[in-house]
Amino acid sequence: MKRIVVVVAICILITLTTYLGYILYTPEISTPFDEEGEFLFLGQPFVELYSSIANVVWSSYNKALNSKPYDPGLFAWGLHYEIRSYVDLYKLTNDIRWLYRAINRCEYLYSVRDVNNDGIPSWGNYNETYGNSRYAREGYREFGVWDGVISTAFMDVVQTILFTDVLKKNATLRARAEKYLEVVITIINRYHAYWTRVSHDEGYYWDCPSGDVVGPIVNRFSALGIAEIKLYEVTGNSTYLSRPLAMATFLKKRLSIRGGCYLWTYRLSYGMFPPSDYEDISHGAIDLEFMLLAFKHKLAFSEEDVRRLVCTYKKFIWKGFTSYPSLATKVDGSITQDYTRMSRNWVLLANFDPIIWVYQWYALERAGVGYTGYYMQALSQLALYYPGPEAIVNTLIKEVKLNLNITMDPISAYIVKTTLQRAIETQRNRDYITAFKLAVKCLMIIEKSSKLAPILYVTILPVILITVILYLSRYSKSS
């Protein structure tokens, strides 16, 4: 019997050591800032790193345009993000060269706005020469979503020029802005006729100008909605809010609630159109931007709705510091592919819960560099909303305190508490780099321990209990 007790004790000891070794090990933690508080990405000064990525994308898109001058897939899913990212960089640095790059791309898109010569601006998929066969499965046609995202890129440039005094005074720039504005007005006015009226206060734009053939695919009608709200912001004409309001009302009624968070599908269920699977975080980034713009202009979305979207990000999309990938593929938390590099826009939620900035920075930092427009936009947004070392550390320490009561084993709980004390001390001494690392370490330990401690308890406790009972029964028999 004694031998059994010894074997059990050794097994438990090995399990406990392995467990604690795993829980308490933390990898080298990088920080999003240096001693001066400058924003770092992958350990490098942001603008430096961004420039090197942007230069690669700039020349690779130039090469693509040279070999295929009309590729609406590239316009919508490459250039449109690239333009928006350059606009962000102009806002961040006031370096006019970034704005000129955005304008250079807009000029190109403007020059190919009517390749079928019918007088109507649209970057449609017309044939193999004037189009991309990759999208031909939906037929050679025009796409509302492409016209929507390209219009949005134009509007970013228009807003930047018209809302910045020094740019507005420049006659050449002003003329460019007015030219782009005019084309967006023509596009949006045209889609007013391509509309499914769901009820007196709900509806959505068709993705195909000849009919509602695909149903309410959220990112597709949202793309036009975003461009139209921006059109309102520039013109002040409230007609441009009525359809976005109807789409926001329609969408909001079809969001489902799970655990206080909003979930939704790629296509909404309506009429003959069945709902599809849950929305992915890449298309969902377009949906999210629309919902946040709707909230900004009080179109159907309230603060409570935004809180539910924050909840979606924190409870479903964010997978944790110790998971890889750090973000789910879909809004319901499922993972099929790593979509982290496509996770632009989600950082906008940091305006409502600042921990989301840290999560997005961490997820993108771990995802590794990409050379695409959407990745550039994810990075430039991160830089634009960078809150600075003090705010980041305050947010992290608050997050650790909020999570202290989560189930942990007593040793992890003790280490988290003492590490938190050290983090608070270094925060007081304004050593934000150390404080950042300690706070992230706490969150990593909490994550791992809260996942594994319950498993440990349900396996080890019964073994100890059974051994003790066996031992006592043998002991009482022999005596």
By the criterion CB under 5 A, which residues form the site for Ca ion? 114, 116, 118, 120
Q: Are 443 and 321 in contact (CB under 8 A)?
A: yes
Dist CA 186 CA 473 (whole Å): 88
Residue 429 is inside which H or E element, if any? none
Q: Is the distance from CB of 49 to CB of 38 less than 8 angstroms?
A: no
Residue 364: CB atoms within 10 A of its CB come to: 25
- CB neighbours of 103 closer than 8 A, spacing ≥ 6? 157, 173, 176
How near is the Cβ of 149 to Ca ion at its closest, in Å?
17
> Closest separation between CB of residue 142 and Ca ion, Å?
8
Least separation in angstroms between residue 194's CB and Ca ion is: 15
Distance from chain centroid for Cα 98? 23
Q: At closest approach, how far in Å is the CB of 320 from Ca ion?
A: 48
**Among 339, 313, 344, 360, which residue's Cα sits nearest to residue 32?**
360
CA distance 381 to 242: 28
Shortest Å distance, C-beta 131 to Ca ion: 12
CB 270 within 8 A of CB 198: yes
Look up tokens 């990088």; give the residue: 30
Is the CB of 124 or the CB of 203 nearer to Ca ion? 124
DSSP state of 274: P
- Rounded to an integer, what distance in angstroms lies between the CA atom of residue 31 and that of residue 440? 10
Residues whose CB falls within 8 Å of the CB of residue 437, separated by 6 or more in sequence, listed in order: 29, 31
CB of 112 to Ca ion, least distance (A): 10
Nearest approach, Cβ of residue 276 and Ca ion (Å):
30
DSSP classification of residue 347: G
Select 58 or 108, whichever has its Cβ closest to Ca ion. 108
Which residue lies nearer to Ca ion by CB, 120 or 456? 120
Give the three-state DSSP class for 405.
coil
Identity of the amino acid at 123: W
Judged by CB, which is closer to Ca ion: 70, or 270?
A: 70
Three-class DSSP labels, 8-74 = HHHHHHHHHHHHHHHHHCCCCCCCCECCCCCEEECCEEHHHHHHHHHHHHHHHHHHHHHHCCCCHHH
Min CB(146)–Ca ion separation in Å: 13
Cβ-based nearer residue to Ca ion, 113 or 366: 113
Task: Tell me whether residue 205 or residue 262 sits nearer to Ca ion (CB atom).
Answer: 205
Residue 359, both tokens: 């999560």
Our CB check for Ca ion shows the closer of 115 and 350 to be 115
Select 96 or 120, whichever has its Cβ closest to Ca ion.
Answer: 120
Q: Which residues pair with 270 in a beta bridge?
A: 273
Which residue's CB is nearer to Ca ion, number 190 or number 422? 190
As measured in angstroms, the least distance from the Cβ of 235 to Ca ion is: 23
Minimum gap (Å) between residue 117 Cβ and Ca ion:
7
Give 187 or 294: the residue with its C-beta nearer to Ca ion. 187
Per-residue tokens: 167 = 């740019």
